[in-house]
Amino acid sequence: MSNSSLVNYTKLSPNYSERKDTIKKITIHHMAGNLSVETCGNVFASSSRQASSNYGIGSDGRVGMYVEEKNRSWCSSNASNDHQAVTIEVANDRIGGDWHISDTALAKLIELCVDICKRNGIERLNYTGDTTGNLTRHNMFVATTCPGPYLQSKFEYIAEEVNKRLQPQETDQKENSTSTTYKVQAGDTVAAICRKYYSQSTKKEWDLIKNTNGLDSNYTIRTGQILTIPNASTSNVNSGELKIGDTVKIIGTGSSQANGGGTTAGGIGWTRTIIKIQSGAKNPYCVGSGTIATGWYPASSLQKL
């Protein structure tokens, strides 16, 4: 029986038993604190703690291993469940309230669940809301707030995303298409990124990026995040640095001023020419028709033609 290759840190706990059943389930918990994988490992290192989990995920997305999968962790207050389950503790980036977890931790949790399922022959995660499913929660077995309101609200989504990756749907392949990466810029949306890389921007394209990158159902992205863009048409991507005189298609919003102030500039779908450039500005490219300016835009809002 193997362990996950996603592990970044290992500190094996003395708190475990020999597993007496095959792995059929995944049980997700929260740490009730913003613990690093190292700190969580230190908590489980004490034999007096009488608790452990197979894995832990920090808010930064790093994965710790504390009990090998061949062994049962002491995690869910239910021996029968834990003999069948790989257990995962997830750090909270907000303390109290809904016990929020970071988007990074959620994405890594989905990735880890996929890995566990593939290696252990679990064809599908089934979240039923009770113990009859193979995706279970700590509070199904004992009176506790674990895994917290926020993470509990994500269980159906987690199962859905894991199952999509276990049984990927066929997607239409574009001619001269490839996968590429894109660094999210300030003001970007999934819809605008789709307009940059695909011939259209519909829910089909949005979901392709969402499913590939483990985004939430609201298509939330963060400035600086690196996205994998599958089946990206190279003919739709800006090639090289934009310069005065280039013909561009407006695919996102800008503003009436280069520094981002003033009124919002639209014109999505219009074809215009770059007539001015102000280096270092938030929206460095002034586009227009002739000498009449439409507005100032960031590179992410323009598609070079």
- Nearest C-alpha neighbor of 93 from the set 108, 81, 103, 83: 103
Higher-pLDDT residue of 145, 223 = 145
Taking the model in full, what pTM does it have?
0.57
What's the chain's Rg over C-alpha atoms? 24
Kindly report the number of other CB atoms within 10 A of residue 62's CB atom: 19
Query: What is the average per-residue pLDDT within 63-75?
Result: 97
Handedness of CA 285, 247, 303, 180 (dihedral sign): negative
pLDDT in tens, 163-191: 988 876 544 443 444 677 888 888 888 88
∠ CA 176-178-182, nearest 5°, is 130
What gap in Å lies between CA 40 and CA 93, rounded to an integer?
14
Query: Could you tell me if residue 245 is left (phi over 0), alpha (psi between -120 and 50 degrees) or otherwise beta?
Result: left
> With 70 as the cut, is the pLDDT of residue 235 above it?
no
Decide: 166 and 120 in contact? Cβ < 8 Å. no
